[in-house]
A and B are shown apart, each in its own frame.
Chain A
């Protein structure tokens, strides 16, 4: 997989395990907070999380309640962002849509990271399994992400968890490769060989030596995966192969607005803005984290 990261990461890993002293940690935190991207991206993201948590309280209407007599009303005092073709309040739909997006993004990020770590460590550490695992990973990475997601969704049927699983399967290989290459480079180092000679088990080595080197890139990667997953969920919803259409989700609302874009452009407009904002915050956050945690990754 063409990844200029590989060369740089090997160099980064060779620098040795990160010193886990308090002073180093405070320095890290201060560096993070002084990075403008982290601050801006992070705060907008936290705002989104807050909105998602408080969606019920903030929404003027129940987003799933249909009011057939009030279809396609433009933004007004009654409906701040207008209504859709069933009279549902767009503002409530957008607020609740953040829940699906954040849920999908977050869980996908966690599953991908955890799964990637497990598979990457296994592959990096156990030579014999490596070959098989890598072939399967390569196979999965041979598909453009969205195509594989569409096919998986068609196989599994609609539903939030199916979306999460499909996206996790799609994004997992890349994370696994990242962990694997770190594992491969670290295991030859002196202190690891020394630990092995001392009788330390593979798992202990993995956690004490390999994992800490990966955390930075893993977090950066994870942030971007969050962003891709949010976007992918919207695309799947737009194409009609995401969460069920009556579940409030940004992709679903944009899709329903597509048919009435002439009469009611507001239906597609506002969820799109929300999507863009979410993507912006996560990308800024990811950029900032990358600059702080591993500037050598900038070539990516």
Chain B
């Protein structure tokens, strides 16, 4: 098991190199000048040139790339052009809202998805199954950002129950934090819950077909305990891995949700950084997300390898 883990970790290194290079070239391919934006619309050519020299933007690209690698190895992600602070600080300051959003959305997704899937799978073909699976299908097909808009219209504008947008830290004001996070978490979590529900359902059906379930039934156990004691727990294992995949998908979904709900997290940061051509910040966020993404996938693979020993020897 540990050798598999080590092998996988080692395999990540060249991938990270590729990722870093892709990110660098991608960012520098974007037209537009960060300096012109910072200086404001009435700056003239010489002011812009001076500022470019300050930021090291006048050097040839390969030189900038090498500088980028060396700094990265030292753990230095550079300095934001716009925010006048190290990129690492900028990322750290905005990590909390994004993490809270993702955790809440995941919580909602699991809360809705797992029970729905289990119930649907336990009674396939029943009325419950049809209803739940239709809802799940809708969850997959309704665009998350559109759902967010409708939620805002209904709950904030029409009913006035919840605030339209914004963020409060759970450490400073838990009640407000809850009210601000409810709509974003539910709209983001709902789409993901659909995926979890469908997987949970098929896992449940698969497990219920197994021999040991037939044995349990033959033993005379009540149907309910069959479901909850035996089937449920075994069906849950692959579901856990799907939850891992969901977490990875949530990273992308969080970007749009943060924009719609004006949450000051990493998603909003990257959009504004792209608009302002704040290259170091864009690089930092993309690298961070790629690293997180790969890490999550690695963990999911570990869990898979744990369940299915065959995979380790591939």
Contact = CB atoms under 8 A, between A and B. Distances in A.
Contacts of B310: 7
B5 interface: no
B274 A254 contact: no
Interface in A205-262: 227, 231, 234-235, 238-239, 254, 257-258, 261-262
Interface residues of A, number: 45
Interface in A1-29: 1-2, 4, 7
Contacts of A1: 297
A135 B15 contact: yes
Interface in A62-92: none
A207 B238 CA distance: 35
Interface string B139-152: 01111011001101
Contact of A143 (B137, B138, B157, B286): B286
A2 B18 contact: no
Given A135-B14, A239-B256, A268-B146, A7 B308 contact: yes
Contacts of A202: none
Given A231-B143, A239-B259, A299-B202, A142 B290 contact: yes
B136 to A, nearest CB: 10
Contact of A4 (B31, B145, B238): B238
A155 B141 contact: no
Contacts of B19: 139, 142-143
B239 to A, nearest CB: 11
Contact of B293 (A143, A151, A265): A143
A136 interface: yes
B170 interface: no
Interface in A107-150: 135-136, 138-140, 142-147, 150
Residue of B18, B202, B259, B304 with highest tally of chain A CB at under 10 A: B18
A174 to B, nearest CB: 12
Residue of A143, A152, A284 with highest tally of chain B CB at under 10 A: A143
Nearest to A277: B141
Interface in B170-203: 199, 202-203
B28 to A, nearest CB: 9
A135 B12 CA distance: 9
Contact of A275 (B146, B290, B308): B146
A154 interface: yes
Contact of A283 (B137, B152, B238): B137
B294 interface: yes
Given A254-B146, A268-B149, 18 more contacts: A142-B290, A143-B19, A144-B248, A144-B251, A147-B251, A152-B26, A231-B143, A257-B149, A258-B149, A262-B157, A276-B142, A279-B140, A279-B141, A280-B141, A284-B137, A298-B202, A299-B203, A299-B206
Interface of A: 1-2, 4, 7, 135-136, 138-140, 142-147, 150-152, 154-157, 227, 231, 234-235, 238-239, 254, 257-258, 261-262, 265, 268-269, 272, 275-276, 279-280, 283-284, 298-299
